Chain A
Amino acid sequence: MATTAATLHAPAHAEPSGLWSWITTVDHKRIGALYGITAFCFFLIGGFEALLIRIQLIRPDNTFVSPDVYNQLFTMHATTMIFLAVMPLSASFFNFLIPLMIGARDVAFPRLNAFSYWVFLFGAIFINLSFVFGGAPDVGWFGYANLTSKQFSPGHGVDFWAVGLQILGVASLAAAFNFIVTILNLRAPGMRLMRMPVFVWMTLVTSFLIILAFPVITVALIFLLFDRFIGTHFFIPSAGADPLLWQHLFWLFGHPEVYILILPAMGIVSEVLPTFSRKPLFGYPVIVYSGIFIGFMGWGVWSHHMFSVGLGPLADSFFALSTMLIAIPTGVKIFNWLATMWGGRLELKTPMLFAIGFIILFTMGGLSGFMHASPPADLQQTDTYFVVAHIHYVLFGGAIMGIFAGLYYWFPKMTGRMMNDRLGKVHFWLQLVAMNLTFFPMHFVGLLGMPRRVYTYGANLGFNEMNFWSTIGALLLAPAILIFVYNWITSWRSGPPAGNDPWGGATLEWAIPSPPPSYNFGTIPEVHSLDPLWHKDSRELVLASNHVHGHIHMPPNSYWPFLGALGMAMMMSGMVFGWFVGIPGLLLMLLGFYNWAFEPCH
Chain B
Amino acid sequence: MSSAAATLAPVHEAHPTSTGLNNRKMVFWAFLGSECMFFGSLIATYLVYKGRDKVGPHPHEIFNIVFTSFSAFVLLMSSLTMVLALAAVQRNNQKTARLWLAATALLGMTFVGGQCYEFSEFFSHGLKLQTNLFGATFYVLTGFHGTHVTIGVIWLWSLFMMATKGKLGSERALDVEIAGLYWHFVDVVWIAIFTLVYLLQ
Contacts and interface: CB of A to CB of B under 8 A. Distances in A.
Asked if A and B form a direct contact in the complex, defined as CB atoms under 8 angstroms apart, the reply is yes
A8 to B, nearest CB: 12
A104 B10 CA distance: 7
Interface in B33-59: 33-35, 37-38, 41-42, 45, 48-49, 52-54
Point out which of A180, A213, A240 has the most chain B C-beta atoms below 10 A from its C-beta: A240
Contacts of A216: 37-38, 41
A186 B17 contact: yes
Interface in A503-554: 519, 523-524, 549-554
Given A5-B5, A551-B2, A177 B27 contact: yes
Contacts of A550: 2, 4-5, 8
Point out which of A185, A226, A519 has the most chain B C-beta atoms below 10 A from its C-beta: A185
A555 B23 CA distance: 15
Interface stretch (A40-48, A241-249, A335-343, A441-449): A241-249
A211 interface: yes
A493 interface: no
A602 interface: yes
A527 B2 CA distance: 26
B194 to A, nearest CB: 20
B129 A226 contact: yes
A320 B87 CA distance: 52
Given A186-B17, A240-B54, A602-B12, A249 B26 contact: no
Given A226-B136, A553-B9, A177 B31 contact: yes
A185 B52 contact: no
A230 interface: yes
A110 B27 CA distance: 13
Contact of B10 (A239, A241, A553): A553
A109 B27 contact: yes
Given A181-B23, A181-B26, A233-B132, A1 B1 contact: yes
On chain A, which size bracket covers the interface?
Answer: 35 or more
B133 interface: yes
A278 B126 CA distance: 73
Contacts of B19: 184-185
A185 B17 contact: yes
A211 B140 contact: no
Given A2-B1, A226-B129, A226-B136, A215 B37 contact: yes
Interface residues of B, number: 39
Given A1-B1, A226-B140, A245 B48 contact: yes
Nearest to A227: B136
Point out which of A178, A187, A223, A519 has the most chain B C-beta atoms below 10 A from its C-beta: A223
B11 interface: yes
Given A2-B2, A602-B9, A215 B129 contact: no
A478 interface: no
A219 B41 contact: yes
Contacts of A233: 130, 132-133, 136
Contacts of A333: none
A202 interface: no
A230 B129 CA distance: 8
A173 interface: yes
Interface of A: 1-2, 5, 104-110, 173, 177-178, 180-181, 184-187, 191, 211-216, 218-220, 222-223, 226, 230-234, 239-242, 245, 249, 252, 519, 523-524, 549-555, 601-602
Given A181-B30, A215-B34, A231-B130, 10 more contacts: A1-B1, A2-B1, A191-B18, A211-B34, A223-B45, A226-B129, A232-B136, A549-B4, A552-B10, A602-B1
Which 6 residue pairs across A and B have the least CB separation, nearest first?
A105-B10, A550-B4, A215-B38, A185-B17, A219-B41, A2-B2
24 contacts: A1-B1, A5-B5, A106-B11, A108-B23, A109-B23, A178-B27, A184-B18, A184-B19, A184-B26, A186-B10, A214-B34, A219-B45, A222-B140, A226-B129, A226-B140, A230-B129, A232-B135, A233-B132, A234-B133, A245-B48, A249-B41, A249-B45, A519-B10, A553-B9
